[in-house]
Amino acid sequence: MTVADDGFLSTFERTGRSLRARASDALDPLRSVRNRAVVALDERLSARAKAGLWVAVVLVLFAVPLVTENEFYIDVLIRMFQLAVLAQSFNIIAGYAGLFSLGHVAFYGLGAYSAVLLTNAGVDPVLTLLAGGVVAVAVSVPVGVISITATGIYFALVTLALAEMFRIFFLEQWEVGSLMTIGGSSGEFIRIGWSDGLFYWVFLMLLVAVVLTTYHLKRSMLGLNFEMIREDETLAQSFGIDVRKYKLVAFVISAFFPGVVGSAFAMYSGFIIPGSVFSVNISVGMQVQAILGGLGTVFGPILGAFVLLTLEETFATFSNVKNLLYGFLMIVLMLYLPGGLLSLLKRSDR
């Protein structure tokens, strides 16, 4: 083979490599589109699988009263649903908007006392449930306007003081019209005739409702605005976000479900006193459960409620150590697991 032939082959090889490179470059956008399509399909299938899993879980839970009449198990699950709804409500204002409230128990108590008043007046129980949320929202607007002027620990103290004011208010007995009274340290009785199974479904539906609300909030522009405010209020203002308005919106949204679940609890328990439905321990429990599971997540507060209730039932004979347990968990979580238990599950997936 001559030198001319070698030169020709070398030129031919270089030309071939160049053409292959150009063809590869031309196909890169197509590969990118294909890869994005595959990823999107995987995510869609994953989302559908997760949705199917949670629908299956809800259906299983829905069937519990149909397969067992054990009052203990039904009562424990009702309490878990109740705690999870309260923890998720706190998660909306603290996990997304960054406002740590110690006074959300006020809306729970107001819902409970609105149930007493309306039930004694002969109002339908279903309307009474919804009225508890409406009352909580109506009260949360002026309370929120007052509270959001403070920040940080001062916001928490203002909300705590307002909740204590409601507790003291209901320690006194007040006349409503000429035939009814409400409040008083002796407590209030309430009876509506619903079965435990029906109450179980009510609390389960409330849990489903608050989870769906949180899920859609997390994926919405409203939720994004909440998160921007949580991370940096000054930066949020620079983007034209009305910080005070969105804080108030978060406060009002997070007040609705404690009001409804407070009404449901009053009708389920049949008896309430101001010291129980306005107890600061309920507010602390909301925080511990939400932080234990994972603030700013959809399912973290539910996990936290489940774990904490399991611990409480396990050590039920040592009822005096509940507050010590809350304090210990808060210290451990803040120091070693600020992302909550859900962050451990995410790490194990990696």
The tokens for 312 are 């409480």
Q: What is the pLDDT of residue 41?
A: 45
Name which of 205, 230, 226, 212 is nearest 299 in CA terms: 212
Q: What is the pLDDT of residue 180?
A: 66
* pLDDT confidence band for 247 (50 / 70 / 90): very high
Alpha carbon distance 218, 92 (integer Å): 9
Q: What is the pLDDT of residue 194?
A: 87
The model scores a pTM over 0.75: yes
* 15, pLDDT greater than 80: no
* pLDDT confidence band for 190 (50 / 70 / 90): confident
The one-character DSSP state at 96 is: I
What is the percentage of the chain residues whose pLDDT exceeds 90?
Answer: 27
* 42, pLDDT greater than 60: no
Rounded mean pLDDT, 93-102: 89
Residue scoring higher pLDDT (300 or 344): 300
Query: 169 φ, ψ to 5°?
Result: -60, -45
What is the per-residue pLDDT across 329-340, written as a single tens digit (0 to 9) for each? 778 777 777 778
CB–CB of 109/273 below 8 Å?
no
Q: What is the pLDDT of residue 12?
A: 47
C-alpha distances in Å from residue 272, one per residue of 88, 165, 184, 259? 23, 17, 10, 14
The one-character DSSP state at 150 is: S
H or E stretch at 175: strand 173-176
Which residues make Cβ contacts (< 8 Å) with residue 105, sequence separation at least 6? 163, 258, 277, 278, 279, 280, 282, 283, 286
Could you give the 3-state DSSP secondary structure of residue 342? Answer: helix
Alpha carbon distance 260, 129 (integer Å): 5
What is the per-residue pLDDT across 195-226, written as a single tens digit (0 to 9) for each? 889 999 999 999 999 999 999 998 889 989 98
Rounded mean pLDDT, 54-70: 86
CB–CB of 111/290 below 8 Å?
no
Rounded mean pLDDT, 173-192: 74
- pLDDT-wise least confident of 3-7, 78-82, 160-164, 196-200: 3-7
* 231, pLDDT greater than 80: yes
Rounded mean pLDDT, 18-40: 51
The tokens for 288 are 């511990």
Alpha carbon distance 259, 129 (integer Å): 8
What region, left, alpha or beta, does residue 175 occupy, with left being phi > 0 and alpha being psi -120 to 50 degrees?
Answer: beta
* 303, pLDDT greater than 80: yes
Rounded mean pLDDT, 16-28: 53
Alpha carbon distance 94, 80 (integer Å): 20
C-alpha distances in Å from residue 284, one per residue of 14, 68, 83, 105, 322? 73, 33, 11, 9, 11
The tokens for 91 are 């998660």
* 300, pLDDT greater than 60: yes
